[in-house]
Amino acid sequence: MLKDVTIGQFYPTGSVIHKLDPRTKILFTTAYIVMLFCINNLWGYLATFLVLVIVTLISKIPVGYIIRGIKGLVLIILLTVTLNLFMTPGNVVAALGPFNITLEGLKTATFMALRLIFLIVGTSIMTLTTSPLDLTDGMEWCMRFIPFVRRYAHELSMMMSIALRFIPTLMEETDRIMKAQKARGANFETGNIISRAKNLIPILIPLFISAFRRADELATAMEARCYRGGQNRTRMKQLVFENRDRVSFVLMFMMIGGLILTTMIKIPLIFPI
């Protein structure tokens, strides 16, 4: 399951989306996330699904590779769905022991599941189509317009970019440590919750040591290259909005307008809205 984490990885295919300015993709993804939390009916989620399918086909990223990112978070999605299903008050449609399943709970659980899945897929597409260096430059440009943050825009964007870059590295390191411990007779799959938590200690200690060692090596490498932050720093590659970025902005505003229209639709599809 650790290998199913795709957030933070870069999958080059040379598609049009890969060639877009990173600022365009960051702004597009931000607008997508905001709209995702504003959708209140299934028509909006159907429109969002259509947008994701189109973007995935254009990016030329294998669908199975994107689905892998969802598999790694199945437990979180199931936990969120279960809590919303049984903890939402309303009109009772079924009873499961001491718990009641309500119509509002079914609606909320369905919407939360779709929202989380679409959120994971959308953010994964951005990181899969954007190199860490481009992502850093794009985030730094966007942060310059945020008060109280613009002064530290470069440092913050660098930190987030490094964190995203090292997610798959740490996952691979964790998988390697688990296989080494299993070869020594460790058991991580049986026993109660307390015993499983205790069995994680032989994994966490070497993982923390490895993470601190990698951080120290990275800091040493940056100092050896005379890195001193973003002050008076020049870039070999300047970010420039091209025609394809302008077309993307037009499509983004069309998408916003379309999803706003879906929130006004009152035709029930499964649940009455």
Q: Nearest to residue 21, comparing CAs of 252, 243, 234, 253?
A: 243
Q: Could you tell me the pTM of the whole model?
A: 0.74
Asked if 131 contacts 18 with a C-beta cutoff of 8 angstroms, the reply is no
- Give me the DSSP letters along 221-245: HHHHTT---STT---SS-----HHH
Give the whole-angstrom CA distance, residue 197 versus residue 202.
Answer: 10
Asked if 8 contacts 161 with a C-beta cutoff of 8 angstroms, the reply is no
Asked if 236 contacts 11 with a C-beta cutoff of 8 angstroms, the reply is no
**Model confidence pLDDT, tens digit, residues 236-248:** 777 788 888 888 8
**pLDDT value for 271:** 46
Instruction: Work out the pLDDT band at 12, boundaries 50, 70, 90.
Output: confident
Of 18-22, 90-94, 111-115, the poorest mean pLDDT is in 90-94
Compute φ and ψ for 184, nearest 5 degrees.
Answer: -95, 5
Residue 190 has a CB neighbour count (10 Å cut-off) of 8
Q: Nearest to residue 96, comparing CAs of 115, 111, 82, 117?
A: 82
